[in-house]
Structure 1
Amino acid sequence: MSRLRPPSRPTYLRVVRASAWYDLVVTAGFATPWTYVLVHDTLSSCGTALGLGALPELDPWQVLFANLMGSVVVVWAVLRIVGPLPQHGLFDGIARALFATWQAYALAHGVSRLLWLFLGVEVAFGVLQLAPWSLRAMRRAMRPPLDGHVHSPRQDVGNPVGRL
């Protein structure tokens, strides 16, 4: 089974680190109940002023989940700032695809359109971090085998890269 090699260019690691700094700046305020109240009020005021809609009133469950999300994202961001690895970009890109999916779901169900600003950044960093992995997988899948024989797709069943 062949392994997919990670992107090794320093530019890719700068993207991983930049996405981490973005996450740290945007989510640090979500990590504690006291800072989340300030972030919530600020976002709600901005949404109202821009005509994008206010946030719902705070309740203890919302604060808890905001704090949980903020804490995990802050720790994940610090890891990527201190020691970025190509694999961090892959997993962060996957996480961003999930975040973007749930943000789109929330937008479709009537949350403040202020969320569009965050969705755009999630998608952009997700594409920047996943594209190099996808391109490598496609190139590897299209490359002829070393033995010179053309294999049918069924022969690549045990090779996850061959299925991409």
Structure 2
Amino acid sequence: MFRTVTPSHPAYPRFVRASAWYDLVVTAGFATPWTYGLVHSALSRLGEEIGAGALPALDPVETLYANLMGSVVVVWALLRLLRPLPAHGLYDGLARTLFALWQAYALAQGAPYWLWLFLVAEVAFGVVQLVPWRFVRGAVSAPRSAGS
């Protein structure tokens, strides 16, 4: 029999942790200029090998944005590993929705097709973390004031 998993279900924190591990593995290389240079080179070679084309040459602004994204995602992943709270799963699912939208936009603009692999992962982790919230009534409500 299929059991409904809600954010209060004991399995839900495992989903939150799994998505955090994925983020840490995939984005840690983006967090510094030196590691991003290595990641950029590896992705470029992969693109050439599979016929998707190399990435454009690195520039300082691209590196800055990659480092900002990598740094924030690494910190966010560490928070979810240490404290996999249901609310963290909700917000991570919302962030993944945004990431998936921007990845789909990039693909529509001609980004290399290997980006689909990351898009699929974003959607999968987003669904796993957001769907349980649909079973929670009033899950995200305004806090009550002291006089209420």
TM norm. shorter chain > 0.5: yes
Where in structure 1 are there 5+ consecutive unaligned residues?
Answer: 1-5, 141-158
Q: Give the unaligned 5+ runs of structure 2.
A: 1-5, 143-148
Runs of 4+ with deviation above 3 angstroms: none
Count of aligned pairs between the two proteins: 135
TM-score with structure 2 length normalisation? Answer: 0.87
3-state SS of paired residue (1:9): coil
Amino acid at match of 2:130: L
In structure 1, how many angstroms separate the alpha carbons of the residues matched to 2:134 and 2:57?
Answer: 41
- 1:60 is aligned to 2:50: no
Aligned-partner residue type, residue 53 of structure 1: G
Contact kept? 1:53, 1:114, Cα under 8 Å:
no
Query: Which residue is 1:129 aligned to?
Result: 129
1:62-103 residue CA offsets vs partner (Å, 9 max, x unmatched): 000000000000000000001110000000000000000000
Q: For the residues of structure 2 that align with 1:47 and 1:119, how far apart are their CA atoms?
A: 16
**Aligned partners of 2:99 and 2:34: how far apart in 1?**
24
Structure-1 separation of matches of 2:44 and 2:134:
38
**TM-score normalized with structure 1 length:** 0.78
Q: Radius of gyration: which is bigger?
A: 1
Q: Aligned-pair distance for 1:136?
A: 2.8
**C-alpha distance in structure 2 between counterparts of 1:10 and 1:43, whole Å:** 37
Aligned partner letter, 1:97? T
CA distance in 1, matches of 2:24, 2:83: 15
User: Identical aligned pairs, as a percentage?
Assistant: 67
Corresponding position of 1:74? 74
* CA displacement at 1:52 relative to structure 2: 2.4
Q: What is the CA-CA distance between 1:54 and the residue it aligns to?
A: 1.9
In 1, Cα distance between equivalents of 2:27 and 2:68: 11
CA contact (8 A) 1:31 1:67 kept: yes
Aligned residue identity for 2:129: Q
